[in-house]
Amino acid sequence: MSNEKQLATIDFGSAIWALKQGKKVARSGWNGKGMWLILTPGRVVNNIEPNSFYEKCGFEAPVTITSHIDMNAADGSMVVGWLASQTDMLAEDWFVLE
């Protein structure tokens, strides 16, 4: 995150709007930890790979994966399907990363 520019702080609704515009967002409390969010667009999986999770669970193509918010965690891993806490939703220390 050190190479990215932090803009003015915003509320959660504005952070969601920024995600929908393809921007990365974070909270000031996360600053320095490399944590940020992105909106991953939905997609359709037309080919189920052999031995994949989808095949093992009995899915048949096509499989629709809906849009979801993912987090780049402090350890560098991607947390798929991040959920906001009430504290996150009420916070006004969100910012867009440019």
Q: List, for residues 48-73, the tens digit of each pLDDT value.
A: 999 998 899 999 899 999 999 999 99
Which residues are paired to 26 by β-bridges? 95
Domain of residue 75 covers 12-82
Q: Half-sphere exposure (CA, 13 Å, Cβ side) for 49?
A: 3
d(CA 77, CA 29): 19
Please indicate, yes or no, if residue 87 is contained in any of the structural domains.
no
> 25-34 pLDDT, tens per residue?
999 988 678 9
Statement: residue 8 has pLDDT above 90:
no
Domain-located, residue 33: yes
Residue 3 included in any domain: no
Residues paired with residue 39 on neighbouring β-strands, in sequence order: 69
User: What total number of domains does the chain contain?
Assistant: 1
Residue 94: inside a domain, yes or no?
no
Please report whether residue 97 resides in a domain.
no
Residue 58: is it exposed, middle or buried by C-beta count within 10 angstroms (0-12/13-18/19+)?
Answer: exposed
Residue 2 in any domain: the answer is no
6 occurs within a structural domain: no
